[in-house]
Amino acid sequence: MAEEKVESSGFKVVDRRPFTSEGQRVPGQPEKEESSREPESSAATQPSTPPSLEPESEAGIPEESERFAMLVSYLSTTAMFQLGLLPGPGGEYIPSDLANGRRTIDLLEVLQEKTRGNLTRQEAKLLDEVLYELRMTFVEVQKRASKQK
């Protein structure tokens, strides 16, 4: 029972749903419409992960360890912006925001604590070094800010 409706605009609407609004199968509809659909891959049965997060280095997508390094880099760069160490997008000076800089450093510390024992040596070393540098920088910026006041 494919209903056809012709509207005055010249468009023709064909209802191809296999079930009625009551949930009954429409007579004359094939059991499955496999021919009009693309075949489903085995990925459809697995939990969906955005393609950008799949660890496939051949496709130009970073692997898991590279994604971890990107996360650490993102958070450390954010902290450096907040500490006033990096210029803004237009090269303008960004004043330091010590409270938010400290929060971002704290986030990295939480990441370090929650991933302890689950990181490769390289990942753990990267996180240790980034945290050390950010902590030392935070102390320097804090000293500078207290001298200016």
64-101 residue pLDDT tens:
879 999 999 999 999 999 999 998 888 888 889 999 99
Averaged pLDDT, 116-121: 93
Q: What is the CA radius of gyration of the chain?
A: 28
Residue type, 147: K
- For the chain, the residue count is 149
Report the alpha-carbon angle 7-13-16, nearest 5.
Answer: 155
More confident residue, 22 or 103: 103
| pLDDT (0 to 100) of residue 71 | 95
| pLDDT (0 to 100) of residue 7 | 52
Residue type, 35: S
| pLDDT (0 to 100) of residue 31 | 63
The alpha carbon dihedral of 50, 56, 57, 60 has a sign of negative
Q: How far apart are CA 68 and CA 89, in angstroms?
A: 25
Per-residue pLDDT tens over the stretch 48-63 = 444 444 445 555 666 8
Q: How far apart are CA 147 and CA 141, in angstroms?
A: 10
Report the alpha-carbon angle 124-129-131, nearest 5.
Answer: 95
Q: What percent of the chain has a predicted confidence (pLDDT) above 70?
A: 68
Residue 3 confidence (pLDDT) above 80 = no
| pLDDT (0 to 100) of residue 42 | 43
Averaged pLDDT, 29-36: 54
Strands (E), the chain: 4-6, 12-14
Residue 13 confidence (pLDDT) above 50 = yes
Residue type, 58: E
Identify the CA nearest to 127 among candidates 138, 137, 116: 116
